[in-house]
């Protein structure tokens, strides 16, 4: 997304604001960021705004990166009837799992990776998040390895990717198994019955154990204990798709940190006087590996104030300040009983919130009556 510039004030006073947001429900990261920019400039037309849509690896990953760094968008087949929108930029291919994994089946993602390998890709970053099912990445292993037999497919897929730099940009730190794992999380996130989740957990455990026995043993250099891939933070992201990619040699990396590096977040924060970060729900999850915490910490490192705009704010002032943000503002007053706005109204509500907050954080320069 191009920078939005305002006309100079009579006194040539310029305040530089970095505006960044991930997606808000049905609003893409680009749409949410634009809504904040428009609202802010309605109240403060004298500021310079750098607009930066952001992503942690889930839905909108490719579009956000395209807005930030540009490149070539390429349609790559995921099946005979579906295609993935892939970004090729600076010698790297960016793939978004959420586009091609209906019901959590990762077969289409494997087909996309297989096809970009045929196109000569040697650096691949896969954004993993916002997946509505759990398959542990088995579908993609079988698709790349071209076999329904797990042992055969895993060996073949690892061989095909042996000279490829594969990065897995995950959107949450879930492990594959356990109370904080992919199947347990599906009870809340996907509405699974707890008994179904328990059965899926048992099956996933057998699958993970099978994969572990097929892979070369890795041990901790200090303790000598076996390195368990299923216990790695992020392995359970995308219903375990991250685990499947890691089993093929992929490096697990927090998606927000990965995107921050790619888009030059630290440089863009350093060029701003104020940072505004949007997220639909500002809650305890934002305090861990998340776009909000990533942006806020980058701003704190450059001694730049940050304000958070959200539809819902579910953490207190103490948590907000301890994270490093100066303030947080919500579309929905937590003390009111007003219903959340419909998706069609959310853009306008976010724009109005930005307009209101802009008056506090970027007041009109002294002497400017225009």
**pLDDT reading at 4 higher than 90:** no
CATH of the domain at 226: 3.90.1510.10
Same domain, 195 and 341: no
Interatomic CA distance for residues 64 and 28, integer angstroms: 9
116: exposed, middle or buried (C-beta count within 10 Å: 0-12, 13-18, 19+)? Answer: buried
Same domain, 349 and 230: no
**pLDDT reading at 59 higher than 70:** yes
Same domain, 86 and 201: yes
Given 209, 226, 258, which residue is the final one in a domain?
A: 258
Cα-flanking dihedrals φ and ψ of residue 130, to 5°? 55, 50
Residue 340 confidence (pLDDT): 62
- CB 211 within 8 Å of CB 247: yes
Given 258, 276, 306, which residue is the final one in a domain?
A: 258
Q: How many domains does the chain have?
A: 2
Given 192, 225, 258, which residue is the final one in a domain?
A: 258
275-319 per-position pLDDT tens digit: 999 999 999 989 888 999 999 999 999 999 999 999 999 999 999
Range of the domain at 198: 61-258
Interatomic CA distance for residues 227 and 232, integer angstroms: 9
Q: In the chain, pLDDT over 90 holds for what percent of residues?
A: 84
Same domain, 155 and 290: no
pTM: 0.90
What b-and-e string marks burial along 273-301, b requiring 16 or more CB atoms within 10 Å of the CB? ebbbbbbbbbbebbbebbbbbbbbbbbbe
Helix (H, G, I), strand (E, B) or coil at 271: coil
103-161 per-position pLDDT tens digit: 999 999 999 999 999 999 999 999 999 999 999 999 999 999 999 999 999 999 999 99
Q: 9 lies in a domain?
A: no
- Higher-confidence residue of 12 and 15: namely 15
**pLDDT reading at 5 higher than 90:** no
- In the block, which residue shows the tokens 């790695």? 232
Same domain, 347 and 216: no
Tell me which DSSP letter residue 149 carries. Answer: S
- CB 343 within 8 Å of CB 27: yes
CATH of the domain at 282: 3.40.50.10350
Round the average pLDDT of the chain to a whole number and report it.
Answer: 92
**pLDDT reading at 1 higher than 60:** no
**pLDDT reading at 363 higher than 80:** yes
């Amino acid at each position: 997304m191009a920078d939005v510039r305002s006309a100079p004030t009579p006194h040539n006073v310029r305040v530089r604001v970095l505006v960044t947001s991930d997606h808000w429900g049905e609003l893409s990261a680009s749409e949410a960021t634009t809504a904040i920019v428009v609202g802010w400039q309605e109240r403060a037309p004298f500021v310079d705004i750098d607009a930066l849509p952001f992503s942690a690896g889930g839905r909108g990953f490719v579009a956000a990166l395209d807005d930030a760094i540009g490149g070539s968008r390429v349609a790559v087949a995921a099946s005979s009837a579906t295609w993935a929108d892939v970004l090729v930029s600076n010698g790297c291919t960016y793939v978004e799992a959420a586009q091609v994994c209906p019901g959590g089946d990762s077969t289409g993602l494997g087909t996309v990776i297989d096809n970009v390998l045929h196109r000569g890709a040697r650096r691949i970053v896969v954004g993993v998040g916002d997946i509505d099912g759990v398959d542990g990445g088995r579908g993609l292993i079988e698709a790349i390895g071209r076999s329904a037999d797990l042992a055969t497919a895993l060996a073949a897929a690892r061989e095909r990717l042996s000279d490829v730099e594969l990065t897995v940009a995950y959107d949450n730190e879930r492990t594959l198994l356990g109370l904080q794992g992919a199947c347990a999380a599906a009870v809340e996130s996907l509405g699974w019955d707890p008994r179904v989740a328990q059965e899926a957990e048992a099956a996933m455990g057998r699958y993970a154990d099978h994969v572990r026995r097929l892979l070369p043993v890795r041990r901790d250099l200090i303790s000598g204990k076996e390195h368990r891939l299923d216990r790695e933070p992020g392995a359970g992201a995308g219903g375990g798709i991250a685990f499947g990619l890691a089993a093929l040699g992929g490096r697990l990396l927090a998606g927000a940190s990965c995107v921050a590096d790619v888009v030059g977040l630290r440089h863009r924060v350093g060029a701003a006087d104020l940072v505004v970060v949007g997220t639909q729900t500002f809650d305890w999850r934002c305090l861990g590996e998340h776009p909000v915490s990533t942006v806020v910490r980058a701003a704190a490192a450059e001694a730049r104030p940050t304000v958070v705009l959200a539809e819902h704010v579910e953490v207190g002032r103490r948590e907000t300040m301890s994270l490093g943000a100066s303030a947080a503002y919500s579309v929905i007053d937590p003390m009111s009983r007003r219903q959340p706005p419909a998706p069609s109204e959310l853009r306008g509500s976010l724009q109005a919130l930005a307009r209101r907050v802009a008056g506090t954080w970027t007041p009109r320069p002294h002497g400017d009556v225009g």
